[in-house]
Amino acid sequence: MRLSTFETLELVNFEIIMELSEHTKNILGLQLPTDPRWVDLASISLEEILTDHAYCEQKAATTCITLIQRYSDKEKLVFELAPIVTEEWGHFRLVLQELRKRNLTLGKQRKDVYVNKLIEFQAKGGHLEDRMLDQLLTMALIEARSCERFKRLSEGLNDEYMRNFYRRFMESEAGHYTLFIDLAETYVEKEKVRKRWQEWLAYETDVMNSMEVRGDRIH
């Protein structure tokens, strides 16, 4: 049986996860689950959720391109992120197709308060290694929260088709956020990565607690 492109990418991501060390897999853990009300609100605002999702995938692709350009001397980073650019852009197109199928249009891009708050926590100035580490951990955290949100949608929506739709995205994001942690541990001393990741998780918890529960945003 021939696998679709999407199914092939899911298998690749699964293999990435299985190749990581147990410690790398275990240190990934959001400290605050999504408010249960979010799924109910999202189901009411499906057009807005799909629009925001499309832009999230687009921004993920362009951010990976930026990282490749910025750290072109990091061979593993370049070769690992290149296919992620293709995959994220493929996800963008899938969400666009879903909008068209529902006779909906891609709305305006909105300010991403969640991501902007994460960027505020990134190291500014100082050593290049510290800046690169925070950029990789920011991406890891965004992918981790996206994965968690997609899991909520895959379990909580009443529409079976949309539950399955978001389960595929959830499985893909799982491979992405572990990849960013793995890349960080490739170029930065592991204990430093683990310590900083715990700081990021604590900060993200504060960010989530400070934000209004809205059904028209992925984050």
Residue type, 61: A
Residue 19 pLDDT more than 60? no
pLDDT category of residue 21 using cuts at 50, 70 and 90:
very low
- DSSP string for 40-109: HHHHHTHHHHHHHHHHHHHHHHHHHHHHHHHTTT-HHHHHHHHHHHHHHHHHHHHHHHHHHHTT------
Question: Is the Cβ–Cβ distance between 203 and 99 less than 8 Å?
Answer: no
User: Which tens digits make up the pLDDT trace of 134-180?
Assistant: 999 999 999 999 989 999 999 999 999 999 999 989 888 888 888 99
Correct CATH for 5-11+37-210 of 3.40.50.1000, 1.20.1260.10, 3.40.50.970, 3.40.50.1820: 1.20.1260.10
Domain range annotation of the chain: 5-11+37-210
pLDDT category of residue 48 using cuts at 50, 70 and 90:
very high
Give pLDDT, residue 177: 86
pLDDT category of residue 28 using cuts at 50, 70 and 90:
low
pLDDT category of residue 36 using cuts at 50, 70 and 90:
confident
Higher per-residue pLDDT: 201 or 7: 201
Which pTM does this prediction carry?
0.86
Give pLDDT, residue 118: 97
Residue 24 pLDDT more than 70? no
What tokens does 6 get?
């999407």
